Amino acid sequence: MAETGRLTRTAQAAPMFSPVTLLRVAIILALLAGWELLSRSGWLYRDVVPSWLAIGKALGDLLFHADYYFHLGVTAAEIGAALAIGGISGLAVGIVIGANRFLAKAYEPYLYYLGPTPKIIFFPIMIMWFGVGPGSKIALGTLSCFFPVALSAAAGMRQIDKVLIKVGQSFRANTWQTVMKIYLPAMRHPIINGIRLGLGVALIGTLLAETKLSNKGIGFLIIQAYSVFDMPRMYAMLIVLFVLAIGANALVGRLGGLHTIRR
Amino acid sequence: MTAVARRLSIGNWLPAALGIATVVAFFAALEGLIQAGLVNRFIVPPPSEIIASFGRVLTEEHVVSRFFFTLGECFAAGVMITVFGIAGGVLLHRYKLLQEAVETWVAALAAAPVVLAYPLFMVIFGRSAWTIIMIGFVAALPPVILKTLEGLSGTRKVLINVGKSFNLTGSQQFWKIMFPAALPTMFVGVRLGLIFALINIVGVEFLINYGGLGQLINDLAERYDLPGTYAAICFVILVSVVFFVFLEKAERWLRPVD
């Protein structure tokens, strides 16, 4: 009986919502209310801050319009191609550099310093090389994606337990078997981390290229909404884009088991 | 010089020489292919023409004033991220409930492609330097907040206990113990923030065709001045690399022992 009584008391004491949840809800409500107030105040130019109702309507129109999914498909295909080309080439370069200290000293500084430079400035070159179609967007995404994947793979190679490599050698594993059975499984976390970073920058590179010069894709839709000053539509697209980008980032991390790493 | 020292010295410069030799060989091969007509010179200008156009781009395109314009934007964004980022990190550290509520949001903002909202910033701030600075600021703010928080939370317990044993007030504890202890980590955040700011600032200058170095590339590309475009891109890469090296040196100076 005493046990039951204690359990009952515990259940009663537990609040329905934790203070953190309540604070989060309060912050969101305050932001929404502040936005609506700003929208109706007339302090900014008309439509610069549209009401949530208008943004919600634009969001509904967007999500129930087949045309949007065509453009989303184009952008997703470009990003996918960029990630595949940039990821595979980055991985190959990272493995070669990471496996050889001499090559790492010779070439890694170039990767390290070129990695964070703004890639969008290469877009004029990409247009010259690959034309104004999806090719130049894929190329820019590939260029953006290559560096983080290569650097992560090189760092991952260096942290592989030497014992694992010796085990492979003792089994007389050839180069291909060593890469597939030892290197790649042992480097899973750094590679996934690199792909996660690569996905983020490939997405930015591809979409920015679309906003600069394109006739299809989400970037094109955003700049089109800007040029006709359809602000609710632009906000709706940015909201969807941010949710997709953050979601994809979290998904790659989860699929790669990054959340299971003990820190 | 002993044999070991000589071997060590060779081990240091040989890889660097190989790296430089590879770059030189690549450009020499490219020059040869273009001169032989195997690569179209109207798509890829010969490296010799790019090198020759450096002087023209530097003098005729006012690169120095453009460089200072971009640097000014970076400086403005840098001051803002330092002030607001550190203040934000301190605020989150001071109020644990707020930290638990919003820390994941700040981390999500760090992963969000903020620069894609540049048309929105153009609507709010117009096609001006403020659009560029504000994008740099918003994109670079999260790492400063997160690193400040990390630095303050990572202050060694023994230091805090020393402060307590001296009966320091809350303010004294913060300014004399926690802030100096967290400063190196905070600077890592500011360094990351400045790198993000520079990337976004140059990118947005290029996209909206306004401002300093980013606009220069756009201008030259629109004029189809190919050697000039390539030279300007090389110049921006050079500036970025010098900027990163300078920040790295500053960080090493601030945190000599890891």
Q: What is the ipTM of this complex?
A: 0.83
pLDDT single digits (tens) B159-175: 989 998 998 888 899 99
Residue A166 lies in a domain: yes
- Classify residue A111: in a domain, yes or no: yes
d(CA B46, CA A126): 17
Side chain identity, residue A30? A
pLDDT at residue A92, as a whole number? 93
Residue A4 has pLDDT above 60, yes or no: no
For residue A29, being part of any structural domain is answered with no
Residue A207 or residue B111, greater confidence:
A207
**Mind telling me how many Å the CA of B159 is from chain A's nearest CA?**
24
Collapsing DSSP to helix, strand or coil, B201 comes out as helix
Range of the domain at A159: 60-258
Task: State whether A106 and B97 contact (CB < 8 Å).
Answer: no
Residues of B in contact with A219 (CB under 8 A): 116
Cα distances (angstroms) measured from residue A146 to each of A201, A219, A239, A263:
10, 21, 27, 27
Q: Where are the alpha helices (DSSP H) in chain A?
A: 2-13, 19-41, 52-63, 66-99, 101-114, 123-130, 134-158, 162-170, 175-178, 184-186, 188-212, 218-227, 231-255
The number of folded domains in chain A is: 1
A155 at B interface, C-beta within 8 A: no
Q: What does the alpha-carbon distance between residue A203 and residue A206 come to, in Å, rounded to a whole number?
A: 5
DSSP readout, A169-218? HHTT--HHHHIIIIIHHHTHHHHHHHHHHHHHHHHHHHHHHHHHS-SSSH
In a domain, A105, yes or no: yes
pLDDT at residue B152, as a whole number = 92
User: Does the pLDDT value for residue B11 go beyond 80?
Assistant: no
Q: Is the pTM of this model over 0.90?
A: no
Structure tokens at B79: 């001051």
pLDDT higher than 90, residue B76: yes
pLDDT of B132 > 60? The answer is yes
Q: Is residue A154 part of a domain?
A: yes
CATH number of the domain residue A170 falls in: 1.10.3720.10
Show me where the domains of chain B are located: 3-44, 60-254
pLDDT at A182: 87
Residue B204 contacts residue B118 (beta carbons within 8 Å)? yes
Taking the Cβ of residue B214 and every Cβ of chain A, the question of whether any pair is shorter than 8 Å is answered with yes
Average pLDDT, chain B: 88
Residues of chain B with Cβ-Cβ distance to A19 below 8 Å are 97
Q: Which CATH architecture has domain B60-254?
A: Orthogonal Bundle (1.10)
| Residue A183 reports pLDDT greater than 70 | yes
Say how many Å lie between the first and final Cα of chain B, rounded: 31
